[in-house]
Structure 1
C-alpha cells in the first residue's frame, strides 16, 4: 500500500522533493532516448523496408508527432488521475512499445509502436518541470532545472552512440529494448517514492477534446504537407492549407473555451511568448540536427553505425558537465543573455559542419558537435526558467506543458523539414561527384539559420530579478 504525501515527507524530510524529481527524471530520460536512439538505425531501416529518405524519416517523425500532441494532456491527466497513476501508466505504455516494437514484422507495426512510445513520452515530458516550479523555491529552481535539463539533453547525445553499437552488433531490433531496464527501475522507484494517488492540481476538469482534435489535425496536416510538397506539390499545398486553417481554428477556440487545453492567457506574458517562440525554433534545430548527424556520418562519410553514433558521445559528456553550470548561471544571469549565447554556439557548430570538406578529420567533426552541445547546456535551464517565472501559479502546469509541446512540435517539424530539405538538395546535386556532402552542407546551413532566428526571438524574454 503506497504511503500518503505527508507520510513520505515525514520519512524522507527535505530531500523528498529531490527523490521524486530523480524518479520522474529517469523515466523522462528513457523516453527521450527512445526518441533519438532510432536515428542511427535509419539507413538500416531504409534498406530493410525498402524505403526512401522522405518515408523512412517517419520512424522519427511519427514518434515526435505523437509525443507532441500528448504533451497537452499532461495537466488534465495529473488533475484527473494524480501523479502516481499517470506516471506508472505511461511508463508501462513505454515498456510495451519497446518490447513489441522489437518484434515488428512490417513497417506499419513498427510505426504503430513508435506512436505508442511517443504518446507515453509526451505525457512524461512536462512532469519534472511542473514539480520544480511547484515544489522548489526560487533559489533552488535553477539547480533543479539543471538536473532536469541534464536528462533532457544528455539522452539525445548518448542514445545514438549506444544505438550505433547495438545496430552494428545486434541489428535494428535491439534499439527498441534499450528502454526496458530503465522502465523496470522507474517502476520500482515509483512504488517507493510516489505518494498514494490524489489529483495533483486541484479539482477535476473535463478534457478539451475539441481543442485536441483541432491541434491533432493541424499537426498531422502540416507534417504530411511538408513531406508531400516535394513530390506532389498540389497535395502538399492542400495539406499545408488545412493545417494552417486548423491551427487558426485551435487558437480561436482556445480563446473562448471554458476549460482550454492550452490557455491563451500564457501568451499575454511577454517573457513566455518570446520563450515559446524560442522553444519552437530551437526544437527544430536540435532535433533536426540530431536526426541529420548519424545519417550524415553513415551516408555521406561512410562510417559504420557504431562509429557514426560515437560522434555524439564526447559531446554528451561535455554536456553533462555544462548543464549543471547552466542551471546555476540561470539563477544569476538574465535568461535572454544565456539563451542567446547558447544559440550562437549552436549556430556556430552547424556552420562549421557545413564548411567541412570530404577530407575533414573525424575528430574535427566531433569537436564541432561539442561546441553546439555547450551552447545547448546554456539554453535549456535558462529558457524554461525565463519563460515560466512570473506567470500565475495556476498557469504553471499549462505553461510547462506548452513549452515542452512547442519544443517538440518544432522538433517534429524540424526532423520532417530536415528530411525534405536533404532529399531536395540530394536531387539538386545528383550529377555532382560529391552530391551527398554538398546536400548535407546546405541542410546544416538551414539549421544554423534557424538558430540565428531563435537568437533574435530570445531578446524578447524580459529579464526578471530573482528575490
Structure 2
C-alpha cells in the first residue's frame, strides 16, 4: 500500500504500460497494406504480424501469476517492460517480414505479461477501501488502448512511416521501466525448490498457440478446407484437454485451474469472454464499415471512436467508487450489457445515406457499455477467491477477455463473409434484364454518361459496372448490419447470466464489500 506522490507515480506508470500494450493489439491493423508493400510480402503473410502478437499475448497471460511469484513481481514487471520496449525497436529495424513476425511475437510475450501484473500491482498500491477505485483506473487502459490504436496507426501511416508505429513505444517504455525501478517496492522471488511445471508450460504454448493460428488464419484459408487448419485444430483440442487434466492433478501447476471452482469466477469468465468478443469485434467491424461503406479515412474513423472512449475514461473511476460504496457489481454489469446491445442495435439500423452524426450516440453507448462491464466484471470475478488465489483468478479472467477478442474477430469476419454471400444472392435475384427497376436504373446511368460524351457501348459498360458497385456496397452494408445485430443479441443474452450471480449471493449483505476486502 502506497500514499501520496509515490502512489500516483506508480498509478501513472502502470496505466501507461497497460495502454501501450493494448494499443499495440490494434495499432498495426491500419498499416498492413503499407507494410505489405514495403516488405514485398502478400497481405495474407503480412497478417502474421497481428497473429504472432495475439498468440504470444494469450500464451503468456495465464502464466503471469506463476512467473511473477517465481521471479519476483517487480523484477518480472520491469523485465517485461524492457522486453516489450527492446523488441518494439527491433520490429522497426526489421528488414523482412519474418524478422518482423518473430520480433512481434517476443513483443507480445513482454506486453501480455503487463496486463495481469499491472492489475496486481495496482491492487497492492491502494488500501482495501480504495480498491474499487483501483479497478476503475485499471479499466482505463483496457478501454483506451484498443480504441485509440487505429487513430494513432492511421495518423502515423499517413504522416510518417510504418516503423514509427513501433518506435513510439521506445521512450514510453524506457520511462515506465525507470519509474518502476525507482518507485515500485522490492519483491523477492519464491525461494522454494519445487520443480517448474515445464509440461504445463509446453501444453499451454502448444494448445493456445495452435488455437490462435486457427482463429487468426481460418477465414483467410477457408477454415477446414486447409489441411494445416485441421491438423492444428486437432493438436489444440488434445493439448488443451491434456493441459486441464495435468494442471488439476499436478502438485504445483503453472495455471491453477482449481480457482474455477468458484462459480462466480466461472460465470464472470464467460461474461468477460463475451465482453472481449464485443469489445474487439466492434473495433474491428466499425472501421471496416466506416472506410468501405462510408468512405472515411483510417484517421477519420479513429476520431469517431474517441468521444465514446473519452466518456468511458471519465466514468470509470466513478464506477470504482460506486462499487466501493456498496453498489452490487451485477447491476452495473446488466446496464453495461444493455448499453452494448443498444450500440449494436442502433448500428444495425444505419444505411448508405447515414451521416457521421448518426454514429455519435451509438458510439457513446459503446464506450459507456465497455466501462460498465470492465470495472465490475474485474471486481466480480475475484470476489469469492482467497487473497492468495486472486492473482491467478485475475490472470484467467484477463486471458478470457483476450481469447474473446481473438474468437470475436475470427468469427465475426467469417460471419460477415457468409452473410455477404447470402445477401448478394438475395440482391442479384432481383437484378435481371427483365426487371423494370433494373432497366430503369441502367437507362438512367446510360443517359447521364452519354450526355457527358460517352459512346453507347461505353455508357452501357460503365452503367453495368456502376450497378455492380451498387450491389457490392449494398451487400456489404447488409452484412455489417447483420454483424452489429449479432453483437447486440450476444450482449443481451448475457443478462440472464448476471441474474444467476445475483440469486446465488442473495443472502450476502453488500457483496461489493466482499470484493474490496478480498483484494
State whether structure 2 residue 258 is matched by structure 1 residue 254.
Answer: no
Residue matched to 1:438: 478
State whether structure 2 residue 246 is matched by structure 1 residue 233.
Answer: no
Residue matched to 2:455: none
Distance 1:191 1:31, change over 3 A: same
1:149 Cα deviation (Å)? 0.9
Q: How far apart in 2 are the matches of 1:302 and 1:105?
A: 32
Q: How far apart in 2 are the matches of 1:117 and 1:102?
A: 12
Residue matched to 1:112: 102
1:251 Cα deviation (Å)? 1.3
Residue matched to 1:3: none
State whether structure 2 residue 206 is matched by structure 1 residue 213.
Answer: no
1:354 Cα deviation (Å)? 2.3
1:56 Cα deviation (Å)? 5.3
State whether structure 2 residue 383 is matched by structure 1 residue 386.
Answer: no
Distance 1:46 1:293, change over 3 A: farther
State whether structure 2 residue 277 is matched by structure 1 residue 284.
Answer: yes
Distance 1:187 1:135, change over 3 A: closer
Q: How does 1:308-457 map to 2 (within 5 A)?
A: 308-331=301-324, 332-429=326-423, 432-434=471-473, 435-457=475-497
**Does the aligned pair in 1 maintain the 2:348–2:480 contact within 8 Å?**
yes
1:404 Cα deviation (Å)? 0.9
Gaps of at least 5 residues in structure 1 are: 1-8
Residue-pair matches, total: 455
1:146 Cα deviation (Å)? 0.8
1:147 Cα deviation (Å)? 1.0
1:204 Cα deviation (Å)? 6.4
Residue matched to 1:84: 74
Give me the TM-score of the superposition, normalised by structure 1: 0.89
Residue matched to 1:223: 212
Q: Secondary structure at the match of 1:459?
A: helix
Distance 1:337 1:411, change over 3 A: same
Residue matched to 2:29: 39
**Does the aligned pair in 1 maintain the 2:23–2:145 contact within 8 Å?**
yes
Distance 1:84 1:376, change over 3 A: same
Q: How far apart in 2 are the matches of 1:56 and 1:354?
A: 31
**Does the aligned pair in 2 maintain the 1:287–1:415 contact within 8 Å?**
yes
Q: How far apart in 1 are the matches of 2:305 and 2:201?
A: 35
**Does the aligned pair in 2 maintain the 1:345–1:375 contact within 8 Å?**
yes
Moved more, 280-289 or 219-228: 219-228
Q: How far apart in 2 are the matches of 1:387 and 1:257?
A: 24
1:248 Cα deviation (Å)? 1.9
Give me the TM-score of the superposition, normalised by structure 2: 0.80
1:374 Cα deviation (Å)? 0.5
Distance 1:363 1:107, change over 3 A: farther
Q: How far apart in 2 are the matches of 1:297 and 1:244?
A: 37
1:20 Cα deviation (Å)? 3.0
162, 167, 171: which is aligned to 1:177? Answer: 167
**Does the aligned pair in 1 maintain the 2:46–2:97 contact within 8 Å?**
no
**Does the aligned pair in 2 maintain the 1:283–1:408 contact within 8 Å?**
yes
Q: How far apart in 2 are the matches of 1:359 and 1:319?
A: 28
Q: How far apart in 1 are the matches of 2:179 and 2:310?
A: 26
1:189 Cα deviation (Å)? 0.8
Residue matched to 1:4: none
Gaps of at least 5 residues in structure 2 are: 429-470, 506-510, 515-519
State the structure with more CA Rg. 2
Q: Secondary structure at the match of 1:355?
A: coil
Q: Secondary structure at the match of 1:172?
A: coil
Q: What are the superposed Cα offsets for residues 99-127 of structure 1, whole Å, 9 maximum, x if unpaired?
A: 22223333323322221221111111001
Q: How far apart in 1 are the matches of 2:490 and 2:353?
A: 27
Residue matched to 1:129: 119
Residue matched to 1:244: 237
135, 150, 166: which is aligned to 1:160? Answer: 150
Q: What are the superposed Cα offsets for residues 341-382 of structure 1, whole Å, 9 maximum, x if unpaired?
A: 102211221222222111111122233222111011111111
Distance 1:130 1:277, change over 3 A: same
Distance 1:45 1:261, change over 3 A: same
Distance 1:57 1:292, change over 3 A: farther
Q: Secondary structure at the match of 1:260?
A: coil
